[in-house]
């Protein structure tokens, strides 16, 4: 195996889903400037996520309804002129 292939700065990091305030701690080497006080009293680096397994439609089984008819009408009115 090649030497120095993997990063050596792994540490505990909190990942927080901003859509539903779900947070979890795991090891990572991601760089971040923000920190958060965790349940155990320690302060860890914080990475804010837009989506995680608790809010993604595939994992939750709750699909969002997309207004496709409105999109089609907008498309037709926009390109009907040509």
Chain mean pLDDT for the chain: 82
Q: For residue 3, what pLDDT is reported?
A: 84
Give the mean model confidence (pLDDT) for residues 34-52: 92
Give the mean model confidence (pLDDT) for residues 44-61: 77
Name the pLDDT band for 79 (thresholds 50, 70, 90): confident
Say how far apart CA 59 and CA 9 lie, in whole Å.
31
Give the mean model confidence (pLDDT) for residues 39-55: 88
Placement of tokens 């195996």 in the chain? 1
Give the mean model confidence (pLDDT) for residues 26-33: 93
Say how far apart CA 58 and CA 1 lie, in whole Å.
37
């Amino acid at each position: 195996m090649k030497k120095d292939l993997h990063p050596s700065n792994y540490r505990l990091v909190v990942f927080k889903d901003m859509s539903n305030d779900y947070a979890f701690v795991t090891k990572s080497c991601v760089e971040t400037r923000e920190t958060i006080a965790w349940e155990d009293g320690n302060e860890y680096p914080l990475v804010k996520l837009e989506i995680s397994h608790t809010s993604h439609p595939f994992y939750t089984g709750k699909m969002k309804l997309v207004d496709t008819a409105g999109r089609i009408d907008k498309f037709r009115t926009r390109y009907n002129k040509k």
